[in-house]
Chain A
C-alpha cells in the first residue's frame, strides 16, 4: 500500500496538499491544475485517510498533461464513495526527468461544494516538505483569527502532516489554544497526527462546552493558535454549517514569521515611509537616481 511513496523519490517534483470533505452524498471536492510548463508533466493524485493510509479500493490516479493542458480532479468520483474525509497530495513531476520543470508560481485551486455552498482555496506547490536534515530546524506557529462558534456555524482547522520524503515516519503532536476576542484563553487536549495523516480539529470537540462558553463571552468569535517545533505543515481553516456539515468558507493559514520576509516593501522601507507625504516625491527620486548614476553605463546602474 506504500508503493506510491516511491514517486516522492523523483529528483524533480512538487506537491500540493489539500483536504477531502465528503461527509454527505451531495458534497463535492475537486482540485484544478494547469500545466504551465513547456514540457509534459505527470500528475498523480494520492488520497489518504486521516491516519495517512490509502483508502481501500483506491488506486492512485495518474495522468500526463501536455503543456497548457488543464485537469480538474473530482475526489468523490475517483474514490467511488460519498463518505470520506481525509487529505490529498497532488504530486507533479516532469514526464522526462531530464527536462527542467519550473516549480515557481505553480498553483492549484481546491473547491468544496454542496447544493447550498461553495468554497475554494488556492495553494502554492511545495518542492520539498519535512525533509530529514531540514525539518529539525523548522517550526510551525499557526494562528486562525476567524474562529466562530454559534448556533449555525462552527470552525474546523485542518493540518496536513505530509512530507516529500518517502521514508517520512514522524507522528507529530500539537497543543491547541483557544482565545476569545479579549484574549482570554483555554488550552485544549494534545492531539497527535500520524505520518501522511491529517488532523481535523473541530473547535467544539477539542474545547467542549468550556470552549463554547469562552467564545460566547465575545459574540461567539475568537482565535485559535498552535505551535510545534521540528516540522512545518500547511493548514486550512473552515467555517462549517452545523446541520449540513457543508464547508461555508475557508482559507489557508499564514505563517506569522512571514511578516519579516516580504522583500519589496521592506527593501524600500525608508522611501515608502517618506514618499507618500512629500509632493513630487517620484520626480525627486527620479532626479536623485539620475544624479547617482550620472556618467555610468546602464549595466552599472
Chain B
C-alpha cells in the first residue's frame, strides 16, 4: 500500500500482475549508463539508491544489477543484489579486479514489488576520485540506456572551458545493443571544438562495435587543441551515429580532476 507521501503518477504506474506475467515483473528495466575509470590513479564509486522507496513512501522491494563493460564491449564483471527499504549500494572499482582501465557502467534497478505498466530506465550517480587524495573528485549522474536501434546523434554543448595546465579527455562509447555476431562497426562520431573566435577544430573518431568504448586523449589526438581552445569558453559539437548518449568530458592535471557529461 503506497504511503501518504507517495508520488501520485508513480502509484498510477503500478499495476497488479499475477500468474506467469507477474513472474517477469523485473524485466521491464532497461537501466542507465555511465562510464567508469580505473587507471592513472583514478577510481570510480557507483551509488545506487532504491528511489522507488521514496516514490512509493513505503518499503518497496527492488533489486539491482550492474554490468561493467571493458573497452571492447564485453562484460568484465556482473554484480547483483537486492535492496532493503531505502538502502543505498556503493560499489568501488578499487575493489573489483576484473575491470579494464575504463568502460561503460550499465546499471539496472528492477522493481520486485509489483509491476509497472511500462518499461523504465535507471538513475544512479558515480564519483571519480583519487584514493591518494580526499579533497578531489567528480560526481556524475547517469544517462540514457543503450538500445537495439540505429539512430543519428547530434549534440551542441556549450559553456566549456579548459583549466590551465589540465589535460582533457573524452569518454565515448557505442550505444548499439545489437548482437555483435554479424554486426559491424556501426558507431561513428565527428567531434568539433569551436573556440571563442568561432574557429573550428575537428576529429573523426575510429568506428566502434556495439558497447565498445574509448577514452580519447584530446591533446594527443588533436595537436594544437590547447592553443585553439585557450582558457576561454568553447563549444563541443558532436555529429554521430549510434553513439551512447552522452559522452563524458573530463580534465585532469594528475592531481585535480573535473568533468561533466556533455
Contacts and interface: CB of A to CB of B under 8 A. Distances in A.
A221 B137 CA distance: 16
Interface string B121-163: 1111101010000111111111011111111000111111101
Interface residues of A, number: 79
Contacts of A249: 127, 129, 136-139
B55 A266 contact: no
B98 interface: no
A26 B198 CA distance: 32
Given A249-B139, A266-B30, A268-B147, A225 B86 contact: yes
Contact of B157 (A68, A107, A183, A223): A107
B86 A118 contact: no
A145 B124 contact: yes
Q: Which 7 A-B pairs have the closest CB atoms?
A: A34-B158, A275-B148, A145-B49, A279-B181, A280-B182, A183-B85, A70-B233
A291 interface: no
A117 B147 CA distance: 37
Interface string B235-262: 1000000000100000000001111111
Interface stretch (B4-12, B15-23, B218-226): B4-12
Nearest to B33: A265
Given A32-B233, A179-B86, A141 B161 contact: no
Contacts, number: 244
Contacts of A36: 156, 158, 235
Contact of A256 (B47, B51, B136, B183): B51
A276 B245 CA distance: 18
A1 B182 CA distance: 66
Contacts of A179: 86-88
Interface in B78-124: 83-90, 109, 116, 118-124
A207 interface: no
Contacts of B135: 116-117, 152-153, 241, 244, 246, 248
